[in-house]
Each structure stands twice: as C-alpha cells, then as structure tokens.
C-alpha cells in the first residue's frame, strides 16, 4: 500500500510543476506575488489574478477525473470600486480571483479522452501526462490569460464591456467570460459606475445606475433600488 501511494500523484506534485514551469512566465510578465497556486500582478488601476484550482475529490468523482486534475481562471480587480463616493473600505492588496469584477476561465487545447471538459486539465494518477499538460497550460497563459488581462486592464475598454457585452460560455453550462451577470444587473452597474467615474465621465456613471433602476427585474427589490438612488444623489 505504501509503495502504491508513493507511485501516485497528488495536488502537491501538480503545484510544484506549476511553480517550476508556469510561474516563470508570469514573473516575466510582471507578476510579483505568489501563493501555492495563485499569482498576483498589482498595477496602477487594477490587480491581476491568475489561479489554478485542484478539483478536489468531490468534483473529481462527479466528472470522472483525478482529484489533482485542475482548472484555471484569471481575473481583474478594479481599484476604482473603492474610489467611489460611497466606498468605505480600501481595495484588497491580494484579491481572490472569484472576487474580481471581470473573470475569464482558461480552456485547454489538447484532447483528453478521460476528461473532455474544456475547462479541466486531466492529470493521470501517476502523472505520466503531466509534461504535456504543463505545456498546454503555458500556451493557455500566453495566448489566453495575458492578452485578456491587458484588454481588461484598460479602464475605458473595460467600461464598455460592462455596459454592452454579454457573458459567454465555452459550451452550455461551462462559462468562459464572467462580468457579474446580466446586462444592467446590480454588479454590472456597480462596476460600470466606478469605472466611468475613474475615467472622469460623471454622466456615464449616472447612466449606469439609471439603467439599473429601469431594469424590470429590480422593480420590487426595494433595498437595491434605494441603494442605487442614494448613489445617484452622490454623483
């Protein structure tokens, strides 16, 4: 039993491979803060985050993968969210990826018969395919994550996306790009308002909240309407 366990991979082995083979690419791109599976790049107006998550035993068993198989997501956290007149907290130094206002799930380009989900890199029990997996992760970081972070790090471009762009899926049920929900939702209005103010566009910030108030979904949600009205009065 001891030898069998020794011959098998675990999440720590995958984390070491990510640190050795993927993190150097991120360092070259300006990422300066690292945790076991997460990297951060603080910039003037944003904090970029890239995260690699093991599936864990529960999700892995549900999709027929190993627990040390993993997915990856990147995100942009906008410091502007904490520069609005109603802000009460400073921006977090190292935000977690799920807390980012703009998020992007990375997809693999290799075919894996044991796990065909496009958002999961399958790592075999003994890790014999780990080298091929890491090569594909490096490709995803260079071709998907870094260019996307550059686009969404531009405040004006990000503002237009929050105002007009729908969220997207890799395929039904598997997200690709996440921007806080439906157009003119509360999360969208919050982000669009903050970004517009950061860009010096007060009227555009007001319009973001006005679209929220005009959204029929929020007609009977009095607390959100009241909050939006209070914020309008402060702009």
Task: Give residue-wise pLDDT tens across range 22-56.
Answer: 999 999 999 999 999 999 999 999 999 999 999 98
Q: Please choose, from the candidates 177, 192, 234, 213, the residue with its C-alpha nearest in 3D space to the C-alpha of residue 81.
A: 192
User: Which residues neighbour 154 within 8 Å (Cβ) at sequence distance 6 or greater?
Assistant: none
Structure confidence at residue 8 (pLDDT): 85
Band (pLDDT 50/70/90 cuts) for residue 1 is very low
Residue with tokens 């969404």, as numbered in its chain? 152
Q: CA 152, 154, 160: angle at the middle one, nearest 5?
A: 75
pLDDT at 106: 98
Q: What secondary structure does DSSP assign to 128-175, as a single string?
A: TTHHHHHHHHHHHIIIIIHHHHHHHTSHHHHHHHHHHPPPEEEETTEE
Please write the tens of the pLDDT for every residue from 151-208.
999 999 999 999 999 999 999 999 999 999 999 999 999 999 999 999 999 999 999 9
Q: Does position 16 have pLDDT exceeding 50, yes or no?
A: yes
Q: What is the pLDDT of residue 25?
A: 98
Supply the mean pLDDT for the chain.
95
Q: What are the residue boundaries of the structural domains of the chain, listed by start?
A: 2-153
Q: Please state, in angstroms and rounded to a whole number, the distance separating the CA atoms of residues 196 and 229.
A: 17
pTM of the model: 0.94
Residue 2: pLDDT band with limits 50, 70, 90: very low
Burial of 69 (0-12, 13-18, 19+ CB in 10 A): buried
* The pLDDT of residue 5: 37
Q: Each residue of 109-156: pLDDT tens digit? A: 999 999 999 999 999 999 999 999 999 999 999 999 999 999 999 999
* Polymer length in residues for the chain: 235
């Amino acid at each position: 039993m001891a030898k069998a366990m020794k011959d098998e991979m675990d999440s720590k082995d995958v984390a070491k491979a990510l640190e050795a083979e993927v993190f150097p690419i991120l360092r070259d791109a300006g990422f300066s803060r690292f945790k076991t599976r997460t990297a951060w790049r603080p910039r003037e107006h944003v904090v970029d985050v890239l995260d690699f998550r093991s599936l864990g035993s529960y999700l892995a068993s549900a999709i027929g993968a190993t627990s040390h198989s993993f997915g990856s997501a990147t995100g942009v956290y906008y410091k502007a969210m904490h520069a609005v007149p109603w802000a009460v907290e400073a921006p977090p130094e190292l935000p977690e990826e799920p807390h980012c206002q703009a998020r992007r799930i990375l997809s693999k380009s290799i075919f894996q018969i044991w796990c065909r989900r496009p958002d999961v890199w399958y790592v075999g029990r003994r890790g014999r395919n780990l080298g091929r997996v890491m090569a594909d992760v490096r490709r995803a970081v260079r071709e998907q994550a870094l260019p996307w972070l550059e686009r969404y790090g531009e405040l004006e471009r990000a503002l237009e996306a929050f105002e007009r762009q729908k969220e997207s899926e890799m395929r039904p049920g598997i997200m690709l790009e996440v921007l806080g929900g439906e157009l003119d939702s509360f999360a969208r209005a919050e982000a669009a308002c903050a970004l517009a103010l950061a860009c010096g566009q007060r009227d555009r910030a007001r319009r973001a909240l006005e679209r929220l108030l005009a959204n029929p979904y929020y007609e009977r949600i009095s607390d959100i309407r009241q909050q939006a009205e209070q914020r309008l009065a402060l702009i």
